[in-house]
Structure 1
C-alpha cells in the first residue's frame, strides 16, 4: 500500500501557480498524443507480425493471431532509436500487445545504461544506430528533432530498401525525411489536437494500462473523432501500402497478399453486432495500383515496391477505394478493437466522448 499515493502536496499540480493552472491541459494532451502514437504503432506492428506468419504458414491472419509466436526465425524484428519516455512506453506496449519475442526488439540510445529494466527482459540496448537499422524490419524514430539530422547521416547507408522507417518526429515532414535518409519506405502519422480536448487521457496512467480501457481504445481508433486528437487518414493509406511493401520484400505473390489482407476482415464480427448488410471485404489489385498495371500483373508476381512518402502526399488508387467503400470503415474499426482484445458492442459504436473533430 502506497501511503503517499493520494497526498495532494506531492502531485505535480500542487506546485503550479494559480495563474498558470490553465496550462495543465497540456499534460493531458501530451499523454493523449503518446497513447495514440503507441496504439497506432502497435496496431501496425501487429498487422506486420500477422502478415509475416500468414505468408510463411499459408494460413489466415486470424489463425496466426491465435497461435502467437511459433517460430522466432519468422518473428518481426523491431528497432527503436531513442530511449526516452516515448521509446520506453512504445517498447512496453509492443511487448504486451503485438507480441514479439524480447530478442526481436532492440533499442539504440545514447544512454543504454538507463534501460536496465529492458535488459532484464532480454532486450538488447546499445548505442549503434547503423547496426540497428541494418537488422530491423521496422525502425521507430523516437528521438528529438535536433538529433534527427545526425541520426539520418549515421543510418542512411545501412537502410535496406525494404526496411520501414516509422517516424514520431513531428517537426520533420515526410518529404524532408525522405531527403535526409535517401529512403522512400517511410511512415509518419500526423496528429491534430482540438481546443476542447477530452479529459479521458489523464497524465500519469501507464500506456499499457490505458490501452486496456475500451473508452481509450475507442478514442484512439483512426476513424473515431472522440478524444479531441485526430489522425490524418493518409496514415491509413500509408500503412496498407507499407504492408504491401513488407510482403513484396518476401517475394510474396500479389494474389496471396490480397487474400491475406482480405482475411484480416472477417464479416462475422459485424454480423454479431446485427449489421445485416455486412459482407466480407475482398481486395483486388486495382484497389492499390492502376487498372492498366493490374491487368498486366500475373498472379505469381509480387506488387512493386511503393514510395510511401508519395502515398502520404498524393492521391492513390487506395484513396479512391477508401472514399467509395461503404463497408471498409466498419470492418476496420472491428479489426482495430480486436487487435487490443476488446470486442466492439453495438452500444460502443456510438462515440462515448464527443469532443474533438473527425480524423481527416
Structure 2
C-alpha cells in the first residue's frame, strides 16, 4: 500500500486556519447585494462533490462487473485466483475530455477513491502542458479526443458547452456499445447528446435543489475531492438515503425525508448506472440470468438477494416499453428467429431458466419509474444493502500515485 502524500499529523485532512477569525472570512468583504449570491458558491461546491462521487461510484461498480464478466468468460484457475485474491480483472480504462478545475479534481478523486492507477487514465485537454504533474506521475495526457475515446471504456465529458458540438463530431464514430459516456456538460441533456452522437449509453447526473435545501449548512473550506473521505457524507450522497420506512397500522409506509444536502441527485441516476452495467455485460455476450447474478454481487454484495433482483430484472426485461429499446445485440438460434421480447407468453419461472440476452437499454430513457427502483424504494433491507455498497465505493484501500 502506497502512502498518501497528503497525509499528515491530522490524518490527511486540510485545516481551515481562518476558522473562528471573522475578519478573515470570505463573506466579510462582500456587499449586501453580493451576499445574496453566497448560496451559489455553496451550490457549486456541493455540485462538484456530487459529480466526483457519481464518477467514482460508476467506476467502482463497473470495475466490479467487469471483474465478474472476466471470470465468467475465462473459467480458468487463473481467473478464479484473481477472483479470490480481490485483484481487478480487466479494469476499465478511464478517459477525460476537457481538464479544467473539474477535470483535475476528477483525476484526484478517481485515483484516491476509485482505485484507478495512473496508467489507466487518459486525458485530452487543449493545454497538455498544464497537466505536467499528472503526466510525470504516469497519467496519459494529450490533446486528442479521438485517441481518448477509442482507448477508454468510460469517458467523462468535462468540456465547455461552447465546444461540445465539435467534440461530439470527433468522437461519435468511436463510441461502441461496450463504452459508457458520462457527461458533466451544462446545458446539454443526455437525450440531446444522444441525438447528436447517435449513441444512447450516456449517463448525465441531474442535480436537484430548492429553496429549503439552499439554506442547509455546507462547508466550502475542503477541496471537493477530499470531501469523499468523509464516510458520513458519502452515505448521504446516495439518493436512496433520503428514503425511509415507518410502520403504520396498515403496514409499512415509505417516507421521503427532507434534503440533507444543498444539492442532491434522484434515484433515476442510480438506475442509469445499474442498467449501464447491465449493458456492458450484455455487450460481452453474458446471458441474462448470469447478468442478474453479477448484479447482485456487485450492487448488493449478497448472494441471499439473488432471487429478488433476478425476478425484478427479468420482469423489467419482459415489460420494457418498446421505445426504450435501441436494438437487440444478439438474435435467437436459427431454429427460432424471434427475440425474447416477442416471447411474451413465457412464464417468469421459465424465463429465469432460459438462455436469453437482455436487450441493449437506452439509458436516456431510464428513470425512477421502473420496477427495480420501486423495489429498492419499498424494500428496506435491499435499500440498506445498496447504500452500504455505495458507501463502500469510497473506501481508500489502495493509493496510486
- Give the equivalent residue in structure 1 for 2:5: none
- Give the equivalent residue in structure 2 for 1:241: 275
Match of 1:173 among 151, 170, 189: 189
CA RMSD of aligned residues (A): 3.1
TM score, norm. by length of structure 2: 0.73
Whether the aligned pair in 2 keeps the contact of 1:165 and 1:187 (CA below 8 Å) is yes
Counterparts of residues 69-84 of structure 1 (less than 5 Å) = 69-70=87-88, 74-84=90-100
- Give the equivalent residue in structure 2 for 1:290: 318
Whether the aligned pair in 1 keeps the contact of 2:48 and 2:102 (CA below 8 Å) is yes
Could you tell me how far 1:31 is from its partner in structure 2?
A: 0.7
Match of 2:359 among 304, 321, 326: 304
Tell me the secondary structure at the aligned position of residue 360 of structure 2: coil
- Give the equivalent residue in structure 2 for 1:349: none
Tell me the secondary structure at the aligned position of residue 83 of structure 1: coil
- Give the equivalent residue in structure 1 for 2:224: 207
Correspondence 1:19 to 2:28? no
The 1:121–1:69 alpha-carbon spacing in structure 2 relative to 1, beyond 3 Å, is: farther
- Give the equivalent residue in structure 2 for 1:351: none
Whether the aligned pair in 2 keeps the contact of 1:68 and 1:99 (CA below 8 Å) is no
The 1:4–1:333 alpha-carbon spacing in structure 2 relative to 1, beyond 3 Å, is: closer
Whether the aligned pair in 1 keeps the contact of 2:293 and 2:306 (CA below 8 Å) is no
Whether the aligned pair in 2 keeps the contact of 1:170 and 1:190 (CA below 8 Å) is no
The 1:99–1:299 alpha-carbon spacing in structure 2 relative to 1, beyond 3 Å, is: farther
Could you tell me how far 1:65 is from its partner in structure 2?
A: 9.1
Counterparts of residues 1-360 of structure 1 (less than 5 Å) = 5-6=17-18, 12-58=26-72, 67=85, 69-70=87-88, 74-196=90-212, 197=214, 200-223=217-240, 224=242, 225-264=259-298, 265-266=300-301, 280-282=305-307, 283-284=309-310, 285-290=313-318, 293=341, 295=346, 299-312=354-367, 315-322=369-376, 325-341=379-395
Alignment size in residue pairs: 326
Report which stretch shifted further, 219-228 or 165-174.
219-228
Instruction: State the alpha-carbon separation in 1 of the partners of residues 302 and 263 from structure 2.
Output: 29
The 1:65–1:106 alpha-carbon spacing in structure 2 relative to 1, beyond 3 Å, is: farther
Whether the aligned pair in 1 keeps the contact of 2:203 and 2:269 (CA below 8 Å) is yes
Could you tell me how far 1:90 is from its partner in structure 2?
A: 1.1
Q: Deviations over 1:191-243 (max 9, x none)?
A: 11122336554223123321111332133121233113221221122111101
Greater relative contact order structure (CA < 8 Å, 6+ sep)? 2
TM score, norm. by length of structure 1: 0.80
- Give the equivalent residue in structure 1 for 2:11: none
Report which stretch shifted further, 250-259 or 130-139.
250-259
Could you tell me how far 1:310 is from its partner in structure 2?
A: 1.9
The 1:206–1:341 alpha-carbon spacing in structure 2 relative to 1, beyond 3 Å, is: same
Q: Where do 5+ consecutive residues of structure 2 fail to align?
A: 1-7, 9-13, 76-80, 243-258, 320-339, 397-401
The 1:320–1:28 alpha-carbon spacing in structure 2 relative to 1, beyond 3 Å, is: closer
Whether the aligned pair in 1 keeps the contact of 2:97 and 2:158 (CA below 8 Å) is yes
